[in-house]
Amino acid sequence: MAAIQGFEHRKRTFLSKCDKSSAGEIDEKAREICAELNGRPAFFTTSSCAGRAFIWRGDGVKSTECFSRWRVTHDLVEDARAYFDLATLDETVEGNDVSEQAPSFWTQALLRLASLCTWCQSSRPGWRGRKHQRQERAEVADKRLLESDAVYWLRFEPFILHVCCRDLVAAAALMAAARRVFKNVGLQGFDSSKLIVAIWGDEGLDMPLTNPDGWPLFQGEHVWLQSLVNSRHQRNWGKIDRFTAAVREMEEPVPSAELEPTGEAERELRHFDVVGDVAIVNVKPKEDLALLGNAILKQDRRVKVVCIKASLLASELRAPGEQLQIIAGRARSPLMTTHIEFGVRMIIDLDACFFSPRLAGERQRLCQAVQPGEKILVAFAGCGPEVLQLLAHTEASQIAVVELNGAAVKCLQRSLQMIRGEEGPEGRACLEVLEGDIRQVASHFPRGHFQRILAPRPKNPGDGDLEQGDGGVEFLQALVPLLADGGVCHWYDFAADWELPACKRTCNILNTECMTLGLSCKVLRVAAANRRTIAERQYRVVADFQVSKS
């Protein structure tokens, strides 16, 4: 409760301060989303920009002295010829007329006073405003600009928003809503006293308008340049509107302080995962099962069913099946649920499929590694969480999917049908879903076809137990030949805690199998896929390795 009161005090203090931005107020197109967030108890906005265009010259970094910009506009460019006429840039510095003789003290004072008056600003064109530098810094900047090259640039900076969140629960809810629209969403700082979610648009533009000698590159193309800027403004505003709608649909996050377990069940209440509206308890509780289940239902408002994992998975299909026992909530058979991860909906049959929400961060990392146009193979796809994230958040040209479990394939197909029924991202990758064993299905693909392979293989008996088990060698022998020269494979293995962080056994297996196939292997990264153990003193690890022809 003290943490909640502290956040409320910071929110009141921050929102009561004067706006220190150059405009002195929130941009018109960002007011609605800021008002929506500031009206919720779990959030307040710290900075925002609805998107702006301007012409600049210098070294490109606004924080340096060698940078100057003109004609900043948060609106559409109405007069293309006036806006892109570079010959008149020296007559206006951020919209203020500059005479050959330096203005007097009283002239400067009147100009500063006029810039603060809304009636004066409204009488100017939308791209005119005051220079965003102090006088002494402006003089230094002008001197350095004269010494720099004469290239002028056109820049469009898309929507950006920083939101302070009450706790990690609120931050996760906001990030999920934002990722339905924006790809660039991140959490800045993990101190519980200052959790900032940063959201950036993706409609940026930075292009030269002159060559180093100062000659215009687009003489007479004012209308075309106007269309470049205005189209980005309109797409940017459309995404802001969609984000606002997503925030309005977002349920109010439950304060994490209300989720803190108390009493003798404290240890058990910390060891459960939530998949959709189902809570899965991962440890054998000391308390009565019904008592524990009802405590979880009361603790987390998302949960409608609580089940306990009675035994470890032993099947190659990784299907929990009878290992899950419902201990609270309404009985459901099959145990189907709809899970949302980073704004992506997926259908999961917990009776027949393996799924871990703990790997959400790892799936996000994989998406960030994918380059536009890549051909990707996802082996051991399960119900398709990696596939669905790749479709939503990357620009891959082809995604091939292989899974042995027929029930998991049906879940993936239902998730894909749900996505196709919604307005999805443009340029969706070509998708092929195959049911079967990757060791047999691999022959379906030509050698060297994929730039990237994801192989979250199942745990076999002996994996990670004091160097027992084959380490998935048969799978490697089937997958590695499918990698193109320079391709990368994300290989998942299992290791005991004493093997971390080097995981020499896993790296030796990778090197040996690649050499057997006549390929060179370069291990780029090896680490635990998440911080929690999958069994006593055992971790799921991921090794990213690149192959090349010897």
Kindly indicate the confidence band of residue 399, based on its pLDDT and cuts at 50, 70 and 90.
very high
Euclidean distance between CA atoms 406 and 411, whole angstroms = 9
Which range scores top for mean pLDDT: 259-273, 336-350, 450-464?
336-350
Give which of 151, 164, 172 is closest to 67, Cα–Cα: 151
Mean pLDDT of 410-427: 74
pLDDT for 157: 93
CATH number for the domain spanning 298: value is 3.30.300
pLDDT for 150: 67
Mean pLDDT of 312-316: 46
Task: Indicate if 138 and 241 belong to the same structural domain.
Answer: yes
Tokens 């984000």 belong to 243
pLDDT for 130: 34
Q: Is the pLDDT of residue 103 over 90?
A: no
Is residue 438, in this structure, part of any structural domain at all? yes
Task: Indicate if 347 and 376 belong to the same structural domain.
Answer: yes
Q: Which residues contact 362 (CB under 8 A, 6 or more apart)?
A: 529, 530, 542
Task: Indicate if 401 and 314 belong to the same structural domain.
Answer: no
Concatenate the DSSP letters of all residues of 332-348 into one string. -SS-EEEEEETTEEEEE
Show the tokens assigned to 228.
């470049």
Q: Is the pLDDT of residue 258 over 90?
A: no
Q: Structural domain of residue 36, as residue ranges?
A: 2-249
Give which of 419, 355, 425, 361 is closest to 384, Cα–Cα: 355
Is residue 391, in this structure, part of any structural domain at all? yes
Gyration radius (Cα) of the chain, Å: 28
- Which of 111-125, 358-372, 414-428 bottoms out in mean pLDDT, i.e. has the lowest? 111-125
Task: Indicate if 164 and 266 belong to the same structural domain.
Answer: no
Mean pLDDT (the chain) is 80
State how many domains the chain has: 3
Show the tokens assigned to 395.
């620009």
Task: Indicate if 270 and 238 belong to the same structural domain.
Answer: no
pLDDT for 425: 44
Question: What is the Cβ-side half-sphere exposure of residue 57, based on CA atoms within 13 angstroms?
Answer: 24
Cα angle, residue 261 at apex, residues 257 and 266 outer, rounded to 5°:
150
CA-CA-CA-CA dihedral for 429, 433, 439, 444, to nearest 10: -70
Q: Is the pLDDT of residue 311 over 80?
A: no
Is residue 409, in this structure, part of any structural domain at all? yes
- Burial class, 342, CB count within 10 angstroms (exposed 0-12 / middle 13-18 / buried 19+): buried
Euclidean distance between CA atoms 268 and 531, whole angstroms = 18
Show the tokens assigned to 281.
């308890």
pLDDT for 361: 84
pLDDT for 114: 37
Percentage of the chain modeled with pLDDT above 90: 41
Q: Report the 10 Å Cβ neighbour count for 85.
A: 14
Is residue 256, in this structure, part of any structural domain at all? no
Higher pLDDT, 340 or 115: 340
Q: Is the pLDDT of residue 138 over 60?
A: no
Is residue 214, in this structure, part of any structural domain at all? yes
Q: Is the pLDDT of residue 75 over 70?
A: yes
Kindly indicate the confidence band of residue 332, based on its pLDDT and cuts at 50, 70 and 90.
confident
Kindly indicate the confidence band of residue 377, based on its pLDDT and cuts at 50, 70 and 90.
very high
Distances (CA, A) of 248 to 171, 243, 252, 465: 15, 9, 9, 49
Task: Indicate if 211 and 243 belong to the same structural domain.
Answer: yes
Cis preceding linkage at 158, omega within 30: no
Kindly indicate the confidence band of residue 125, based on its pLDDT and cuts at 50, 70 and 90.
very low
Euclidean distance between CA atoms 240 and 245, whole angstroms = 9
Task: Indicate if 268 and 414 belong to the same structural domain.
Answer: no
Q: Which of 318, 333, 348 is the last residue of a domain?
A: 333
Q: Which of 196, 219, 249 is the last residue of a domain?
A: 249
Task: Indicate if 104 and 225 belong to the same structural domain.
Answer: yes
Q: Which of 304, 333, 362 is the last residue of a domain?
A: 333
Show the tokens assigned to 367.
């998406």
pLDDT in tens, 35-60: 899 888 889 999 999 999 999 887 76
Is residue 254, in this structure, part of any structural domain at all? no
Helical ranges in 358-472 per DSSP H: 360-369, 385-393, 406-420, 438-441
Task: Indicate if 191 and 165 belong to the same structural domain.
Answer: yes
Q: Is the pTM of this model over 0.75?
A: no
pLDDT in tens, 149-183: 568 899 999 999 999 998 888 888 899 999 999 98
pLDDT for 139: 60
Task: Indicate if 284 and 193 belong to the same structural domain.
Answer: no
Higher pLDDT, 352 or 120: 352
pLDDT for 440: 93
Element (H, E) at 196: strand 195-200
Task: Indicate if 214 and 304 belong to the same structural domain.
Answer: no
Phi, psi (5° rounding) for residue 455? -130, 70
Could you tell me if 412 and 390 are in contact, meaning their C-beta atoms sit under 8 angstroms apart?
Answer: no
Is residue 255, in this structure, part of any structural domain at all? no
pLDDT in tens, 438-454: 999 999 999 999 999 99
End-to-end CA distance of the chain: 62
In terms of DSSP bridges, do strands 96-97 and 92-93 run parallel, antiparallel, or are they unpaired?
antiparallel
Could you tell me if 45 and 10 are in contact, meaning their C-beta atoms sit under 8 angstroms apart?
Answer: no
Is residue 425, in this structure, part of any structural domain at all? yes
Kindly indicate the confidence band of residue 466, based on its pLDDT and cuts at 50, 70 and 90.
very low
Percentage of the chain modeled with pLDDT above 70: 74
Q: Is the pLDDT of residue 374 over 90?
A: yes
pLDDT for 409: 95
Q: Which residues contact 173 (CB under 8 A, 6 or more apart)?
A: 42, 250, 251, 253
CATH number for the domain spanning 128: value is 3.30.1960.10
Mean pLDDT of 485-503: 91
Task: Indicate if 232 and 373 belong to the same structural domain.
Answer: no
Show the tokens assigned to 88.
């008149």
CATH number for the domain spanning 512: value is 3.40.50.150
